[in-house]
Structure 1
Amino acid sequence: MTSLTTDSELPRVHGFLSAFRRRQAARTVDFPGGFAVFDEAYALSRGNNHLLVDGPVAPEALPDLADELQGSLPYRHVQVLDEEVAAACRGPMERAGYGRSPSLVMCHRGPVPAHGGAREVDLDVLREPATASWSRFAPGASPELVRDMVERRAARRRGAEVVRFLAAYSAGGEVAAWVDLYLDPASGIAQIEDLVTAEAHLGQGHAGAVLDTALHLAAEAGCTTRFLTARPTDWPHRWYGRKGFQAIGTATRFERA
């Protein structure tokens, strides 16, 4: 696992993540220490329906709060940005039946690459390859869940000042890899999210093409803080490390079916 370092950029990243979730949501409900986001159009997407803890919270009260606010949903999903707050919440959440899943927050510290040759595309271009990719990531997922996971990308356009969807194409003209890029030039922050390579095009350099393009465009827009999140138990975080990213902290998800 990549070692973590204390970093002054982390509070700015947390602020960006918080603002993005508020702006993306169709509806929010504030509570002491955070807020809940909801979007009934994508009810099965936990990324669009969850509690986000972005400040001090009462750990023992959090499980009951999640039940109260997410009572109509078939799951419970709570995200905690601060590591110390997440550590304090771990015991109460695990006693209430929640699983814990940390993600690394990784900032780009390498040289800005040349444009990778990926193109900006609209949602219609990504719909078919994104749908197909879910059979690999979640083979037992229902058609309704896959629909929400694919179509929720439309809501992301609300999340940041500039939202761009990038794709690299194979020699045969197929979409081979894609990624989201969220830009806030005013604050100088950019997030890279949801990088996927189509199974038929793995190992051919397409992921690097879309990542290099995203980093280049972010730097071109004046975003000196360029970050993404990655699970510490999966291999991609090591690949990101080779691409110039460094882990600066973690964000934690607590989930219960």
Structure 2
Amino acid sequence: MTSTSTTAASELPRVHRFLSDFHRRQAARTVDFPGAFAVLDDAYRHSRGNNHVLVDGAVDPEALPGYAEEALGHLPYRFSYVLDETVAAACRAPMERAGYRHATTMIMAHTGPVPEHGGAREVDFDELREPVTASWPRFAPEAPPEHIRDLVERRVARRRGADDVRFFAARTPAGEVAAWADLYMDPASGMAQIEDLVTVEAHLGQGYAGKVLDTALRVAADAGCSTRFLTAFADDWPRHWYGRKGFTAIGSVARFERV
């Protein structure tokens, strides 16, 4: 049995609310600003995903660099997300004057038929710790061990981010973890996010990521989540693969970083 997601660009405000709520819930502590808030977690101080400013309202663009400085001044980096594209465009010049680099992450909603279960299975984080640790030098080759540790262990904090958080993995015939992903669900609102879909380098091109993605989509749909989405870097190849898997870009999130 298949069905089609009702998600369209008109669903973008609901996606924004889900992202905002997830970041707040995941945080160890938050600091509120007009139109924005900072999320902080000293347990993962090297993780920008756990220590940043998120703009989810009508922020004063000229004030945003100061918010980041106030909240993140104890860290060697400053990192901010801006959810709304119009607000992001207004923030770009002030942030660049303050020394920030700008990049874009696409929000992609699943608008194709829901696939059959891909055969991946739910796993505990302990089963992922070793392969996730081994994968990070591929994406962050210059990161020292303490940074890698935070990037790996931060998955524990994600359990707080949504009502139902699950990790899925596909294994080789020999039992080795070949690919994995997170699934964050709020069945009451019909929202689900799939994130951090990664394939072990030795198993690229063998279909394991597709098995994990299909499993997450089917589980989310069966849980009543009609809005299923993920994020992908605008300038990287996976967004095109997601397009072939039934995902459509419905918006973008601006990222501003200063090191």
Q: Distance in 1 between matches of 2:88 and 2:115?
A: 35
Q: Distance in 1 between matches of 2:73 and 2:239?
A: 34
Q: Distance in 1 between matches of 2:98 and 2:159?
A: 35
- Offset at residue 11 of structure 1 (A): 0.1
Could you tell me whether the CA contact under 8 Å between 2:59 and 2:87 is conserved in 1? yes
Q: Distance in 1 between matches of 2:29 and 2:241?
A: 36
**Is 2:28 the partner of 1:20?**
no
1:198-219 deviation digits (Å, cap 9, x = unpaired):
0111110000000000000000
- Offset at residue 255 of structure 1 (A): 0.2
Q: Distance in 1 between matches of 2:44 and 2:98?
A: 26
Q: Which runs of 4+ in 1 moved over 3 A?
A: none
- Offset at residue 177 of structure 1 (A): 0.1
Residue 3 of structure 1 corresponds to none
1:50-95 deviation digits (Å, cap 9, x = unpaired):
0000000111111122111111011000100000000000000001
Could you tell me whether the CA contact under 8 Å between 2:168 and 2:181 is conserved in 1? yes
- The aligned amino acid for 1:207 is A
1:125-156 deviation digits (Å, cap 9, x = unpaired):
00010001011111111100000000000000
3-state DSSP of counterpart to 1:158: coil
Residue 189 of structure 1 corresponds to 191
- Equivalent runs, 1:166-205 vs 2, <5 Å: 166-205=168-207
Q: Distance in 1 between matches of 2:196 and 2:184?
A: 11
3-state DSSP of counterpart to 1:47: helix
- The aligned amino acid for 1:72 is H
- Equivalent runs, 1:167-246 vs 2, <5 Å: 167-246=169-248
3-state DSSP of counterpart to 2:142: coil
- The aligned amino acid for 1:158 is R
Q: Distance in 1 between matches of 2:78 and 2:137?
A: 24
3-state DSSP of counterpart to 1:8: helix
How high is the sequence identity, in percent, across the aligned residues?
A: 72
1:190-234 deviation digits (Å, cap 9, x = unpaired):
000000000111110000000000000000000000000001110
- The aligned amino acid for 1:108 is H
Aligned counterpart for 2:112 among listed residues 97, 104, 110: 110
The unaligned stretches of length 5 or more in structure 1 are 1-5
- The aligned amino acid for 1:139 is P
1:89-124 deviation digits (Å, cap 9, x = unpaired):
000000111000111000000000000000100011
Q: Distance in 1 between matches of 2:164 and 2:110?
A: 19
Residue 160 of structure 1 corresponds to 162
TM-score norm. by structure 2 comes to 0.96
3-state DSSP of counterpart to 1:126: helix
Q: Distance in 1 between matches of 2:30 and 2:21?
A: 12
Q: Distance in 2 between matches of 1:253 and 1:225?
A: 23
Aligned counterpart for 1:82 among listed residues 71, 84, 95: 84
Q: Distance in 1 between matches of 2:24 and 2:124?
A: 23
3-state DSSP of counterpart to 1:60: helix
Residue 139 of structure 2 corresponds to 137
3-state DSSP of counterpart to 1:9: helix
Aligned counterpart for 1:44 among listed residues 43, 46, 69: 46
Q: Distance in 1 between matches of 2:206 and 2:76?
A: 39
1:159-181 deviation digits (Å, cap 9, x = unpaired):
00000000000011100000000
Aligned counterpart for 1:33 among listed residues 29, 35, 44: 35
Q: Distance in 2 between matches of 1:66 and 1:139?
A: 27
3-state DSSP of counterpart to 1:211: helix
Aligned length: 253
Q: Distance in 2 between matches of 1:241 and 1:68?
A: 39
